[in-house]
Chains A and B, each alone.
Chain A
Amino acid sequence: MFRRAKRDQADFSEELRAHLALEADRLRAEGLSQEDAYARARRNLGNITHSEERFYEAGRWLSFDHLRQDVRHALRQLGKNKGFTFVALLTLALSIGANTAIFTLTHAVMFRALPVGGPKQLYMLGDGKNCCDLGGYDQGNYTLFSYPLYKHLRDQTPEFEELAAFQTYTERVPVRRSGDTVPAQPFVREFVSGNYFSMFAVQALYGRSIVPRDDVPGAAFVAVMSYRTWQQYYSSDFSVIGSSFTINGQTTTIAGIAPPGFFGDTLRSDPPDFWMPLAAEPAGSGQNSLLNRPNRHWLYVIGRLKAGTQTAAAEAKLNSALRQWLTDVAGSNPGVESRKTIARQRIQLTSASGGVEHMKNSYADGLYLLMTVSGLVLLIACANIANLLLARGTANRIQTAMRIALGAPRKRIIGQMLTESVVLALLGGAAGLFVAYTATRAILLLAFRGSHYIPISANPSIPVLAFAFLLSLVTGIAFGVVPAWIASHSDPAEALRGANRSSSTHSSLPQKSLVVLQAVLSLVLLTDAGLLTESLRNLEHQQFGFETDGRLIVSVHPSLTGYSRERISLLYQQLRQRLENLPGVLSASLSGYSPMQGNNWNQHIFVEGLTNQPSTSLDRVSPRYFETIGTRLLRGREFREQDTQSTPHLAVVNQTFAKRNFGDEDAIGRHLGLEQSDEYEIVGIVEDAKYQNAYKPAYPTVFLPLLQMPPNDWAKADLPASSSFRDIELHIVGRMDGSEQRIRQALADLDPNLTVINVRSFGEQVSATFNQERLIARLTELFGLLALILASLGLYGVTAYSVVRRTSEIGIRISLGATRTSVMSMVLRDGFLQVAIGLLIGVPVVVAASHLLGHRLYGVKSYDPAVLGGAILVLATCALIAGFVPARRATTIDPMRALRTE
Chain B
Amino acid sequence: MITREEKTRVALLQGTLDLLILRTLVFGAQHGQGIARAIQEQSEDVLLVDHGALYPALQRLESQGWISAKWGISSNNRKARFYTLTKDGRKQLVQETGQWRKLAAAIGRVLGPETTEG
Contact = CB atoms under 8 A, between A and B. Distances in A.
Q: Are A and B genuine complex partners?
A: yes
Interface of A: 6-7, 12, 15-16, 18-19, 21-23, 25-26, 43-47, 50-51, 54-55, 58
Contact of A22 (B62, B63, B80): B80
Contact of A18 (B31, B59, B63): B31
B33 A22 contact: yes
Contacts of B90: none
Nearest to A40: B3
A26 B41 CA distance: 13
A16 B33 CA distance: 9
Interface in B4-55: 31-34, 37, 50-52, 55
B102 interface: no
Given A23-B33, A55-B55, A46 B50 contact: yes
B37 to A, nearest CB: 7
A12 B56 CA distance: 10
A59 to B, nearest CB: 8
7 contacts: A15-B81, A22-B78, A23-B51, A25-B76, A46-B51, A51-B55, A54-B56
Contact of B31 (A22, A44, A51, A58): A22
B74 interface: yes
A58 B59 contact: yes
B1 interface: yes
- SS class, residues of chain A in contact with chain B: helix
A26 to B, nearest CB: 7
Given A22-B31, A22-B34, A43-B1, A51 B56 contact: yes
Contacts of A46: 1, 50-52
A15 B32 contact: yes
When A and B form their complex, which 9 residue pairs have the shortest distance between CB atoms, in order from nearest?
Answer: A46-B52, A22-B33, A45-B51, A15-B81, A18-B80, A54-B56, A19-B33, A44-B51, A19-B32
A21 B78 contact: yes
A22 B79 CA distance: 9
Contact of B59 (A21, A26, A55): A55
Contacts of B80: 15, 18-19, 22
B87 interface: no
B60 interface: yes
Contacts of A58: 56, 59-60, 63
B63 A25 contact: no
Contacts, number: 59
Nearest to A22: B33
Interface string B101-114: 00000000000000
Given A58-B59, A58-B60, A50 B81 contact: no
Contacts of B63: 6, 58
A22 B32 CA distance: 9
A129 to B, nearest CB: 58
A50 B56 CA distance: 10
Contact of B56 (A18, A43, A45, A55): A55
Given A18-B81, A25-B78, A45-B51, 11 more contacts: A7-B59, A16-B55, A19-B55, A22-B33, A25-B76, A44-B51, A46-B50, A46-B51, A51-B52, A54-B56, A58-B63
Nearest to A47: B52
A21 B32 CA distance: 12
Interface residues of B, number: 21
Contacts of B56: 51, 54-55, 58
A263 B20 CA distance: 73
A19 B52 contact: no
Contacts of B81: 15, 18
Contacts of A19: 31-33, 51, 55, 80
Contacts of B74: 22
A32 B40 CA distance: 19
B1 A44 contact: yes
A45 B55 CA distance: 10
B55 A15 contact: yes
In the complex, which of the residues B50, B51, B56, B81 has the most CB atoms of chain A within 10 Å of its own CB atom?
B51
A55 B56 CA distance: 6
A379 B51 CA distance: 57
Nearest to A25: B76
A323 B77 CA distance: 86
B34 to A, nearest CB: 7
Contacts of A51: 52, 55-56
A18 B1 contact: no
Contacts of A45: 51-52
A36 to B, nearest CB: 14
Contacts of B52: 45-47, 50-51
A27 to B, nearest CB: 11
Contacts of B60: 58
Nearest to A46: B52
B69 to A, nearest CB: 9
Interface string B71-95: 0001010111100000000000000
A93 B63 CA distance: 43
Contacts of A55: 55-56, 59
A47 B56 CA distance: 13
Contacts of B37: 26
Nearest to A18: B80
Contacts of A25: 76, 78
Contacts of B32: 15, 18-19
A22 B82 CA distance: 13
B45 to A, nearest CB: 13
A353 to B, nearest CB: 44
Contacts of B55: 12, 15-16, 19, 51, 55
B66 to A, nearest CB: 14
B1 to A, nearest CB: 6
A6 B76 CA distance: 28
A22 B1 CA distance: 18
B17 to A, nearest CB: 14
A466 B58 CA distance: 41
Contacts of A16: 55
A58 B52 CA distance: 15
A55 B53 CA distance: 10
A60 to B, nearest CB: 10
B71 to A, nearest CB: 9
B78 A18 contact: yes
In the complex, which of the residues A6, A22, A26, A50 has the most CB atoms of chain B within 10 Å of its own CB atom?
A22
Contacts of B76: 22, 25
Nearest to A15: B81
Contacts of B79: 18
A62 to B, nearest CB: 13
A46 B59 CA distance: 17
A61 to B, nearest CB: 13
A747 to B, nearest CB: 85
A22 B81 CA distance: 11
Nearest to A20: B33
A21 B31 CA distance: 12
A292 B22 CA distance: 86
A18 B74 CA distance: 10
A92 B11 CA distance: 60
Contacts of B33: 18-19, 22-23, 26
Contacts of A15: 32, 55, 80-81
Contacts of A21: 78
A63 B30 CA distance: 31
B81 to A, nearest CB: 5
A891 B1 CA distance: 73
A26 B78 CA distance: 12
A30 to B, nearest CB: 12
Nearest to B81: A15
A45 B74 CA distance: 19
A312 to B, nearest CB: 48
Contacts of A26: 33, 37
Contacts of A50: 52
B79 to A, nearest CB: 6
A23 B32 CA distance: 10
A6 B59 CA distance: 10
Contacts of B59: 7, 12, 55, 58
